[in-house]
Amino acid sequence: MDNQIIKLRSLTKCYGSFRAVNELDLTINKGEIFGLLGPNGAGKTTTILMMMGLTEPTYGTAHVCGFNATKDPISVKRHVGYMPDSVGFYDNMTALENLMYIGELNGIPLSEVEGRALDAMRTVGLVGDVVHKKAAAYSRGMKQRLGLAEVLIKQPKVIILDEPTLGIDPSGVREFLSLIFQLSREKGLTVLLSSHHLYQVQQVCDRVGIFVKGELLVEGNLNTLSDRVFAEKSYEVQVTLQNEVDLPWIDEQEILQWESVQKASVEGHVIEISSSKDVTPDIVRFFVEKGYDVTGVQKKEYGLEEIYQKYFESNLMENISQ
Amino acid sequence: MKAIMDSFETHSSNIAGIQPHPFWVMVRKEIAGHIRSWRFIVLLLLIVLTFWGATSVAMSNIREVVSKASDADDLFLYLKILTTTEGTLPPFHVFLNFLGPLLGISLGFDAINSEQQNGTLTRIMAQPVYRDNLLLSKFVSSLILVGALLITLVLLMIGGGIIITGVLIEAEEVLRILSFTIICMVYVGFWLWLSILLSICFKQASTSALTAIGIWLFFTVFYQIIINLVAKAFAPGANELSPIEILHYNGLILNLLRLAPSQLYTDATTTLLMPSVRSLGPVTMEQMAGAIPSPLPFKESLMIVWPQVSGLIAATVMCFALSYYLFMRREIRS
């Protein structure tokens, strides 16, 4: 398929006996925003380095834009913009000079390079005097923006961002991510971003993959992920009551006898009921009929946080038990 | 400084529209970075002061030296300016013997690892440029600077000499001085590659600088001492040896000493700047018989130093090959 712009086939990287990336198969389609999610040391950066041809896989192949990243890294680099997790610039040059240098390395003719650099900086919101400031005077957030401008100046087909939100403040993160989202939609760019901040990834990604200890555990959009992960307890309803419930809860046995209900737990004002089907209306009716004063009913939906937590917890447990 | 930068900029605007090769873009950026750096200004001052000191001492003694010269054939005024000394200050080429390594090391010791520390290496390597272009651009840019510096100094010396003495320079002197400059560049180039190699090996710039200085000190100070000690310990007493054997031992020690790049440089420059030097090893009476006591022609001097020059170039190429091997397949991580 032409649509697949990144194809990884049983990509593996070993450092000695340690497998940083293990038999990774991943396909990313054109125009997609893919979030690679995982804890520190999961092998995200190593995977990205292999895609850029900055390190060699032990075995397996990485095809980006139709080029083999190991054998033909130059062609890959011509079409892919990469922003590393810690962007650094030449401190003795101004931001514009830094950007023009990268532009020239990409073979942009000298007559055009300044205009294109200024364009790229405008796109990421760097305008006015800051353009001619030394890169050393830039704040972390501005450096990140400059890094994105540098990625854009070569007019790439694919953008790979390694931990793009690392070390910027929350409002900066939101702005940055919406900028990435907007760019991807406007220019039809494929974006691969790695992060360990789930909320941020949740905001912009079409698809995410959870990557733990060198293996891609699950991938898909948020709905398919939560379906797959929480197959055994897909719905959870939280009922908040005005009065505290006495323990043991007298009606617990009755509600547990319902076919779909799996578990009910009581804690102060709150009763939590898990079920395999969506039985929220029945539960509300039940509580009303029993004469409880219901102040709130909340159907819990599984976000990335829970999914992530689940994997990381199990990962943590394994680590401890080892 | 500003003028140099401006000339760069006007030059680049002249060729606007033409797309320069990424390699030359890198070289230009490196040179610009060096010229603006304090490090280069300090080095520049150091070299210029040394040159000025050595030449002014030579200039003040030149009358005496020239009047002593027995034969008109023997008189190479400009070579004398470069080599004459009264004992307080060593001549310029001896100075360069230890300033050259300093120049090479200080321009190259943080070539790769500082980029890695700053996080710029990953960014550059993510651009469509070949990795060896980065290494070569570091080397070529520093060598262009060193070359420009040395050639400027030598031309200044010749020009000043013509004004002060009024004696015109001979073609042979020009050739000798030019090849002296080239050998200096090769010598600095060797230390430059060595320090670039160390900057690839070590992650910290200070470690690579220290190691490079360590190697330099070892070769300038300790190597000769060690060789002499070893030779003394192993060589049998001079009385038990036939002259042929003594000659053989001497040759062996000299060859061991020549493993040090500074020795090669000294041999090469002395021969080129002093036309009367006809051999670098011991010479027997038989060999001397029939020799005409006159300066050697340029070609013959060059023939004598050819092995030394090849040795220096070979050592440089070896450092290049090693750094190429280490850098090409390495994982670039910030």
In chain A, residues with a C-beta closer than 8 Å to the C-beta of B127 are: 77, 102, 105-106, 154
Q: What is the ipTM of this complex?
A: 0.80
Q: For domain A4-228, say whether CATH 3.90.550.10 is its number.
A: no
The CATH 3.30.70.1560 portion of chain A extends over 233-300
- pLDDT score of A1: 47
More confident residue, B315 or B73: B315
Query: Comparing C-alpha atoms, which of A214, A218, A237, A216 is closest to residue A229?
Result: A218
According to DSSP, the residues that pair with A261 across neighbouring strands are A275
Alpha-carbon distance A52 to A164, whole Å? 17
Residue B72 has pLDDT above 70, yes or no: no
Picking from A78, A88, A101, the nearest residue to B118 by CB comes out as A88
A56, B329: Cβ pair inside 8 Å? yes
Closest-CA distance of chain B to residue A203, Å = 27
Residue B288 has pLDDT above 90, yes or no: no
- pLDDT score of A314: 61
A84, B25: Cβ pair inside 8 Å? no
Q: What is the pLDDT of residues A152-164, one digit of tens each?
A: 998 999 999 998 8
B119, A86: Cβ pair inside 8 Å? yes
Picking from B119, B127, B329, the nearest residue to A105 by CB comes out as B127
Using CA atoms, how far residue B230 sits from B225, B227, B235, in Å, is 9, 5, 8
Tell me if chain B has a CB within 8 Å of the CB of A241: no
Picking from B16, B128, B332, the nearest residue to A74 by CB comes out as B128
Query: Comparing C-alpha atoms, which of A40, A42, A3 is closest to residue A24?
Result: A42
- pLDDT score of B16: 47
- pLDDT score of B1: 47
- pLDDT score of A322: 45
In chain B, residues with a C-beta closer than 8 Å to the C-beta of A105 are: 22, 25-26, 124, 127-129
Closest-CA distance of chain A to residue B5, Å = 13
Q: What is the pLDDT of residues B246-285, one digit of tens each?
A: 778 888 888 888 888 888 898 888 888 888 777 776 666 6
Burial class (CB within 10 angstroms; exposed 0-12, middle 13-18, buried 19+) of A2: exposed
Nearest residue in chain A measured CA to CA from B127 = A77
Alpha-carbon distance A58 to A13, whole Å? 5
H or E element in which residue B190 lies: helix B171-201
Q: Which of A52, A104, A144, A159 to mutate to test the interface with B (most CBs of B within 10 A)?
A: A104
- For residue B70, the tally of other CB atoms under 10 A from its CB is 8
Q: Which of the residue ranges A303-307, B46-50, B221-225, B315-319 would you say has the lowest mean pLDDT?
A: A303-307
Question: CATH class for domain A233-300?
Answer: alpha beta
B128, A105: Cβ pair inside 8 Å? yes
Tell me if chain B has a CB within 8 Å of the CB of A45: yes
State yes or no: cis peptide before B90, omega within 30 of 0: no
Nearest residue in chain A measured CA to CA from B126 = A77
The pTM is what? 0.81
Nearest residue in chain B measured CA to CA from A76 = B128
B19, A49: Cβ pair inside 8 Å? no
Using CA atoms, how far residue B295 sits from A281, B6, B79, B298, in Å, is 112, 46, 12, 9
Average pLDDT over residues B54-72: 76
A107, B19: Cβ pair inside 8 Å? yes
Picking from A52, A78, A90, the nearest residue to B120 by CB comes out as A90
For chain A, what percent of residues have pLDDT higher than 70?
89
- pLDDT score of A48: 92
Average pLDDT over residues A258-279: 80
Q: What is the pLDDT of residues B213-234, one digit of tens each?
A: 999 999 988 998 998 888 888 7
List Cβ neighbours of A128 (8 Å cut-off, separation of 6 or more). Answer: none
Residue B10 has pLDDT above 50, yes or no: no
Please count the residues of chain B. 334
Alpha-carbon distance A289 to A283, whole Å? 10
The CATH 3.40.50.300 portion of chain A extends over 4-228
In chain B, residues with a C-beta closer than 8 Å to the C-beta of A80 are: 126
How many angstroms separate the first and last alpha carbons of chain B?
Answer: 33
Q: What is the pLDDT of residues A204-239, one digit of tens each?
A: 888 888 888 888 877 888 777 766 666 555 677 888
Q: What is the DSSP letter of A130?
A: G
